[in-house]
Amino acid sequence: MSEIKIQDFLETDIKSAVKIEEMCFSKPWSENSFKSALENQYSKFFVAKKSDVLVGFSGMYTAAKSEGYIYNIAVNPIFRKQGIGTALTLKLLEHSKKNHLEFLSLEVRESNNSAISIYEKCGFQKIGIRKNFYDCPTENAFIMTCYFK
């Protein structure tokens, strides 16, 4: 098998990313949602490719010039447990540090133990809970943040 390559997300990656969104989330982003986010100068997205096939992606945005917030990280279920989610998370952290952000934050379902494990391994800490943040099904979210300063 070929190695995973992490690279910038291009507009040509949108259709593949939408398919992964549909596999991973109960309320997936549409093509228009991706296009809009990509046009935002404060957004940054990366893709993970294996043999030129998009197998995962991550995205974030910057607010107030020093705060980073993750939109989403998704990996095709067929390619999970290969370090792709970790690699995508680390790439967002690298981008955040390079741009002198104070922190990078996200929400994650309380039941998503595999994602929580990745985030903790990458330096994120649980700092709060958002009650009933998710629906389909309704569930609380942990707020997890990685501080750089």
**Which of 21, 71, 119, 134 is the catalytic position?**
119
83 and 130 Cβ atoms separated by less than 8 Å: no
Cα separation, 12 vs 149, in Å, equals 36
Catalytic residue among 61, 67, 69, 107: 107
Does residue 119 carry a catalytic annotation?
yes
Tell me whether residue 31 is one of the annotated catalytic residues.
no
Read off the tokens for 42. 């404060």
Q: Who contacts 29 (Cβ-Cβ below 8 Å, separation ≥6)? A: 17, 18, 21, 37, 72
Question: Annotated catalytic sites, by residue?
Answer: 107, 119
